[in-house]
Structure 1
Amino acid sequence: MGLSPKLLRHVLQQMLPALDYSKSPRRVGNKQTASAAEHSLQNPDTVLYDAWLASRAVPANKGGLLTPGAQRPLSRENVALAARIARRSSLGVLSLLWQLYPGRILALVSLDLLRGAFPVVRGYSQALIINEVQAVISSGNFTVCTRLCRLIATELLRAALESGFDAFATANEDVVQSSARFALEYRLMEQRVRMDVPTLADPHTRDLFQESDLFVRSFSGVANFGLFSPLDFLRILTLVSETLSHVFVLWTLTTDRTHLSLLAFSIISYIFPLLISCWRQYPEYADDCQDIKAARANAKQNKMRAMAQSDSYRSEIVLFGLGPWILENWARARKATLGLDQPRSLPVDTAFNIVTSSINATGLLMVLQNVPMLLAMQSSSATLGSFTLYRNSIQAIAFSVRQLAQLSRMAFQSIFLMGAFSAALQVRPRLQPSPEDKLAYPSSGKGMKIEARNISFTYPGSHEPAVRNVSFTLDAGETLAIVGYNGSGKSTLANILLRITGFDGGELRVNGADVRRLDADALHARTAAVFQGFARFDASVRQNVGVGHVADIGAPLAVQRALALGGADAVVAALPHGLKTRLDAAPGAGAGAPLPHFADAPRACQRGRPHGLSGGEWQRIAISRAFMRAQRPEVELLLLDEPTASLDAHAQNRVFETVEELARSETGERTKTVIFITHRLSTARRADKVAMMENGTITEFGTHEELLARGGSYASLYQASV
């Protein structure tokens, strides 16, 4: 039984208010208080996020944080943090689980409670059989075994019923676990795809989503991969029920001094081996600094392995002779992950463990455990069945206690993962305005007017701004060429204008409205772009182009028109399966390096083999992707970052002619604003205005002729290029 889309939508709609258990952010005057959560995540539930972040603190390393998913130490501070997180997040998560399948959840709880009584019933039934066998042997009358046969038949029936019960309970649990995982995974995926670049660039946000993924993965059965989900708390309930059942049986059967002595000897014979094992010294958890060191070493060895195996690095590895360097770094990191970088010896505690292990292996303790059985055989009131029931119950209680301790430790860790999941659902994208500040996009129908006033931006971790005090005005329908030296901030400015990246200072207005008050998704729907580092999807041609306007991704005519506009129709015509050809997204996978061809492979397999493209062919695909959206009437801005870097002069001219056509309506009026970044200054003459960027700022702005007449940096660069 699956989770229907209608039910899923209802559950997810109910989940948001269930998890929105916080008030609006605290304000002082017109400014919000600068808590850690509001500064880094714009998270309305600051208490939940701050508690989660505080739990990751490394006591021995001031300012250090545990790696995502690392074990939290069991300390007084962390217990208080866990209680705080549980109070703020458990209600929302549990309400979601209950809304999935109320009937199945109720059945799951009831069945797990009943499961706790099964071991006791099993032990009692088997004890009766043992007592009856003892009675038959003692009497010497082997001809009358009616009661024994009845007990055996009852035990077989009980075992069959228990197996059927377990099968039904397991099937019900699988449905609940799978449905819960899908619902939570869907919600987390929905939240993740909403995030913008600045939000995901924050390391705390990445860690938050990584621990949220671990929480979702925990819904895969009891203690899967060491993870513990809220549904696994039922396992604790089962163990408690089982323990109480065994205690009740022991209490009711201990009716006289003989049984009391038998119980005491059974307990002592079981505890004695545990006392021996307690003398041994086991390694404790590695300290937090060791965890961080191991994580870094593991990341480094994975990076070196990827460099050695990836074809995208092969040319430079061969050219620069990086093989020995990669091998040396991988070996050092791999030794650290395996613990081979530390000297090893045989300390006293290890030797003691070996000795005690060998003593335990002699069977002496097994003999001691059978002492109560000898006493039972000498007693007239005690039976072998009683002894068996005593010993099995004591062992079951001890096992349950150990399991409870282990599961409690895992449950303690799962609270922090649950807190991460709940906090992640509250993260608001940094570029998304608050509902009370949001403005509708002011469409002009004539293109996008852009006004930049003293815009500055510094990348996280950098001391120097990538863009500083940029100011210009571009009227609706105009074309702007941004030129400059490498590293002058051109692409960064493009990302700011596209609202891919935010800015630290200044003001940016679009059609007269403050861009920070516009919905980022609405703004993106009015823009089309070709990025310098465009994406190469491991998918078909139709999908690679169709993602430019997802609504038409299944419309071959729209895709073919975009390919024709981008000049990629000839590229597709040469492919073996046209629009259905799957493209190889690996960098450097050109047509000259095809995958191995197997002549005897089925035709369907041959169709699935990815096809490599050259750099220029990929650029045509990227341009066609942008034109897929640019031909839409609602688009008001077309931005191209080095769109023709891999194309020849004729292809370049055709691209810019197409851009000019797309920027005009059928009547010839300008309906789109165009911005292009180029290092070919000959194309800058096409623009209405030119912006010369140096050291992160615009030093010259005007028409091509004006900048040439000025005789500044643009004129020098232009003369050098021609």
Structure 2
Amino acid sequence: MLSSEDFQFLSRSPPAPPKKPPSPAPPPDSVYDLWLASRELPAQRGSYFVPGTQRPLNLANARLAYTLTHRCTLDLFKVLWGLNPFRTTLMMTLQVVRSLFPAFRGYSQALIIDELQSLIASGSFTWFRLFCLVSSELLRRSVESALDSFAAANEDVVVESARFYIEHKQLEHRVRLDVPTLSDPIVRDLLQESDLFARSFYGGGFGLLSPLDFVHIISLITEIISHIFLIYSLTNGAIHLCILTLSILSATLPLLISRLGISFEHPEPVCPTQEARAAERQERMRHLAYSDVHRPEVALFGLERWILKSWADARQMASSSGLSSSWRDSSVMSRINFSEFMFALQNIPLVLLLQTSSASLGSLSAYRSSIQSVVYAIGNLMATSKMAFQGLFLMSAFCASMELRPRLQPKDEDAVTYRSMPNGGMSIVVKGLSYTYPGMSEPALKDISFTLQPGETLAIVGYNGSGKSTLAKILLRIIDFEKGALFVNGVDIRRLNPSEYHQHITTVFQSFSKFNSTVTENVGLGYVDKMESKPAVERAVRLAEADGVVSSLPDGLRTILDTPGFDTISYPGGFSNHQSPHHSGLSGGEWQRIALARAFMRANEPDVDLLVFDEPTSSLDAHAQKQIFDTIQKISRSPSGEPRKNVIFITHRLAIARRADKIAMMENGIISEFGSHEALLQKNGSYAALYQASI
């Protein structure tokens, strides 16, 4: 029942509707504000770069990047470091140590070549001595390669845990955002850049750096300093300076060639079958979380935890396969760069040419390798720093997206717990409700008012585009209204948590989702807690009169249903562990029965108070329609025949609408007539005319 305060609220004039959905309102100078400021076009306030566009390197953005480093980056580093403190510390340490290897390698080669030159010049050269020198160099390289292999394996573990954390947090937050939040174009841009940040952990292809890759900047600086120190220690006299100049010229030549577009790429490894299947399942879960088409059913049927668990299982399967293959590929012998080693040995014949010179062959080799390494390292440092600068803003998008709050979710201090009516059903009071779709000038709903008592059935009828489905989405708390009030069981619906409210509702949407998965999973998504219960799935199928459809399929409930679009991607076994080689397509009417079965999975639960059906039988014949509505009526009543659930259905079939307790006739976004079938016929208005035309 409504309290006196509730009626006072309803009697007040509601505020005027905003022209467009409001943007999130984070605190001043928040990470969101900093991210948005970085996207603003120069001298065009209120206009923004396309998501993923590189920010200009200017003083204003440099200040923003500096602030973001303090506000966001350091905190995220702490979180990622906390996932594997020891391994992460070891990874960073080994990165710095490994950056010293090139300079040490050049110095070691120089010593060997100089010693070999001395032996030849002295006339005491022996092949055994040459063999010893070469063997010692190979041993050093083997130890270095073993350390590289260990460091790479350790880094794979650290990066994999970071990837899992970032993607899981992003997916977890994404599935909780509601339709009104996602309708904001700024929010969509924010989530797009947040997704780019998550993908940067895979490296390559995006021109971005993940936070763990920032340590490469320190490694490159260390490598440059070590090479410069080596060059300085070997430079002594005019001849050495000439060799140094020659080495610089020879080192810059490959860079000039690369500018002409000449490149050498290694072929990509082929993914194992198990890893490919897990990756496909993982991508399908991501699609469910991100797709606007599936958003209403994801929210209403509470699929968030199931999506996250399925994604995490597939992610771990793909990760274990990937890590094992990366360890196999990182064997010691495969990582020894024999071509570089042979390049060093090619300098040996020049010993005879330099016997009379004050310059040693070792100096020439060290100069050439160090200068080349410095030139490349400086180029890599510049490119890495540029990517790091851009990565800061994508990182800020990720951090800002974590602060987004679903617009339909009430504030903690305003939230109340849903309470069912004593005898079941739901009391619904709508007063002056209006709604305008974003970007539209004309409202889809205008001043909608009606009352529905617990256990009553309401039929919403009218012409196409009259606002019937929009009204249903507002009653289902999929979208919000701009003006008016909606009370459920005497409580303002805006004070109810949508996820809790949805647990007491089941529905068939007019544009229901079709999943390229088994029949069991297509039906079981209506009540995930009982998806693995074969009797529960079979019962829902029988209630929807879909048992004949299922029995005609090649593998019954385990048959994979083919769907158009994204979902045509074949995934053996669908979302579960039951694999089936059989695929089958369904007609429109057969798919509608599957969607009805999905709704019936939850409909008979005692805590479900409202059943909403949006054109649930539009593709069925008259006989099938009668059977379905007989079933709906049976489910909505107790064994003694007392109404215990409210039913709201939208239909064009007025012969079905007459079965409802109340009928709402909608025209151009308003309820023009409201009452029973008999009362509306006596009014001889729009409903009566529509009914007479349908007979």
Counterpart check, 1:399 vs 2:376: yes
Instruction: Quote the Cα distance in structure 1 between the aligned partners of 2:553 and 2:474.
Output: 37
SS of residue in 2 equivalent to 1:218: helix
Counterpart check, 1:262 vs 2:240: yes
SS of residue in 2 equivalent to 1:461: coil
Q: Could you tell me how far 1:159 is from its partner in structure 2?
A: 0.6
Seen in structure 2, the aligned counterparts of structure 1 residues 718 and 164 have a Cα distance that, compared at 3 Å, is: same
Counterpart check, 1:230 vs 2:230: no
Cross-structure match for 1:641: 614
Seen in structure 2, the aligned counterparts of structure 1 residues 620 and 119 have a Cα distance that, compared at 3 Å, is: same
Given the alignment, which residue of 177, 181, 189 partners 1:207? 189
Cross-structure match for 1:651: 624
Q: Could you tell me how far 1:265 is from its partner in structure 2?
A: 5.1
Cross-structure match for 2:414: 437
Given the alignment, which residue of 411, 434, 442 partners 1:456? 434
Seen in structure 2, the aligned counterparts of structure 1 residues 510 and 400 have a Cα distance that, compared at 3 Å, is: same
The superposition leaves residues 292-312 of structure 1 with CA deviations (integer Å, 9 ceiling, x where unpaired) of: xxxxxxxxxxxxxxxxxxxxx
Cross-structure match for 2:179: 197
Q: Could you tell me how far 1:64 is from its partner in structure 2?
A: 3.6
Amino acid of the structure 2 residue aligned with 1:183: Y
Cross-structure match for 1:523: 501
Amino acid of the structure 2 residue aligned with 1:432: Q
Seen in structure 2, the aligned counterparts of structure 1 residues 273 and 241 have a Cα distance that, compared at 3 Å, is: closer
Q: Could you tell me how far 1:272 is from its partner in structure 2?
A: 9.2
Cross-structure match for 2:464: 486
Q: Could you tell me how far 1:143 is from its partner in structure 2?
A: 3.9
The superposition leaves residues 38-89 of structure 1 with CA deviations (integer Å, 9 ceiling, x where unpaired) of: 9323556862112212222233766443222222221222222222222221
The superposition leaves residues 430-489 of structure 1 with CA deviations (integer Å, 9 ceiling, x where unpaired) of: 111121211101211421111111111111111111111111111111111111111000
Cross-structure match for 2:166: 184
Instruction: Quote the Cα distance in structure 2 between the aligned partners of 1:641 and 1:673.
Output: 14
Instruction: Quote the Cα distance in structure 2 between the aligned partners of 1:558 and 1:635.
Output: 16
CA contact (8 A) 2:243 2:367 kept: no
Instruction: Quote the Cα distance in structure 2 between the aligned partners of 1:612 and 1:395.
Output: 61
Alignment of 1:61-80 (within 5 A): 63-80=46-63
Given the alignment, which residue of 672, 676, 679 partners 1:703? 676
CA contact (8 A) 2:181 2:406 kept: yes
Cross-structure match for 1:342: none
Instruction: Quote the Cα distance in structure 1 between the aligned partners of 2:593 and 2:28.
Output: 46
CA contact (8 A) 1:459 1:465 kept: yes
SS of residue in 1 equivalent to 2:30: helix
Seen in structure 2, the aligned counterparts of structure 1 residues 606 and 449 have a Cα distance that, compared at 3 Å, is: closer
Instruction: Give the percent of matched residue pairs that are identical in Structure 1 and Structure 2.
Output: 52
Given the alignment, which residue of 15, 19, 33 partners 1:50? 33
Instruction: Quote the Cα distance in structure 1 between the aligned partners of 2:520 and 2:553.
Output: 12
Given the alignment, which residue of 111, 119, 122 partners 2:105? 122
Instruction: Quote the Cα distance in structure 2 between the aligned partners of 1:107 and 1:721.
Output: 77
Instruction: Quote the Cα distance in structure 2 between the aligned partners of 1:131 and 1:93.
Output: 49
Structure 1: stretches of 5+ with no match in the other structure: 1-36, 284-369, 596-603
Q: Could you tell me how far 1:606 is from its partner in structure 2?
A: 11
Seen in structure 2, the aligned counterparts of structure 1 residues 110 and 272 have a Cα distance that, compared at 3 Å, is: closer
Amino acid of the structure 2 residue aligned with 1:110: T
Instruction: Quote the Cα distance in structure 2 between the aligned partners of 1:409 and 1:49.
Output: 22
**Equivalent pairs, count:** 580
Amino acid of the structure 2 residue aligned with 1:686: R
User: Per chain length, whose mean CA-contact separation is higher, i.e. which structure has more relative contact order (CA < 8 Å, sep 6+)?
Assistant: 2
Q: Could you tell me how far 1:199 is from its partner in structure 2?
A: 1.4
Seen in structure 2, the aligned counterparts of structure 1 residues 224 and 240 have a Cα distance that, compared at 3 Å, is: farther
The superposition leaves residues 225-283 of structure 1 with CA deviations (integer Å, 9 ceiling, x where unpaired) of: 422111111211111111111122233334x435xx513651476269869989x9999
Cross-structure match for 1:250: 231
Amino acid of the structure 2 residue aligned with 1:112: Q
SS of residue in 1 equivalent to 2:116: helix
Cross-structure match for 1:383: 360
TM-score (norm 2): 0.78
Instruction: Quote the Cα distance in structure 2 between the aligned partners of 1:414 and 1:64.
Output: 21
Q: Could you tell me how far 1:155 is from its partner in structure 2?
A: 1.2
Q: Could you tell me how far 1:218 is from its partner in structure 2?
A: 1.5
Instruction: Quote the Cα distance in structure 1 between the aligned partners of 2:353 and 2:428.
Output: 94
Instruction: Quote the Cα distance in structure 2 between the aligned partners of 1:58 and 1:661.
Output: 60
Amino acid of the structure 2 residue aligned with 1:567: E
Given the alignment, which residue of 680, 690, 698 partners 2:663? 690
Amino acid of the structure 2 residue aligned with 1:257: G
CA contact (8 A) 2:243 2:364 kept: no
CA contact (8 A) 2:87 2:158 kept: yes
Cross-structure match for 2:318: none
Instruction: Quote the Cα distance in structure 2 between the aligned partners of 1:411 and 1:202.
Output: 28
Deviates more, 1:650-659 or 1:628-637: 650-659
Instruction: Quote the Cα distance in structure 2 between the aligned partners of 1:664 and 1:612.
Output: 35
Amino acid of the structure 1 residue aligned with 2:649: F
Instruction: Quote the Cα distance in structure 1 between the aligned partners of 2:612 and 2:221.
Output: 64
Cross-structure match for 1:34: none
Structure 2: stretches of 5+ with no match in the other structure: 1-19, 262-346, 571-576
Deviates more, 1:243-252 or 1:58-67: 58-67
Counterpart check, 1:166 vs 2:166: no
The superposition leaves residues 11-32 of structure 1 with CA deviations (integer Å, 9 ceiling, x where unpaired) of: xxxxxxxxxxxxxxxxxxxxxx
Amino acid of the structure 1 residue aligned with 2:372: Q
Instruction: Quote the Cα distance in structure 1 between the aligned partners of 2:126 and 2:627.
Output: 104
TM-score (norm 1): 0.76
CA contact (8 A) 2:197 2:394 kept: yes
Cross-structure match for 1:551: 529
Seen in structure 2, the aligned counterparts of structure 1 residues 135 and 666 have a Cα distance that, compared at 3 Å, is: same
Q: Could you tell me how far 1:427 is from its partner in structure 2?
A: 1.1
The superposition leaves residues 97-138 of structure 1 with CA deviations (integer Å, 9 ceiling, x where unpaired) of: 112111100110111111111111111111112112322332
Instruction: Quote the Cα distance in structure 2 between the aligned partners of 1:515 and 1:103.
Output: 49
Cross-structure match for 1:714: 687
CA contact (8 A) 2:554 2:582 kept: no
Amino acid of the structure 2 residue aligned with 1:550: V
SS of residue in 2 equivalent to 1:608: coil
The superposition leaves residues 553-588 of structure 1 with CA deviations (integer Å, 9 ceiling, x where unpaired) of: 00010111111111111111111211111112228x
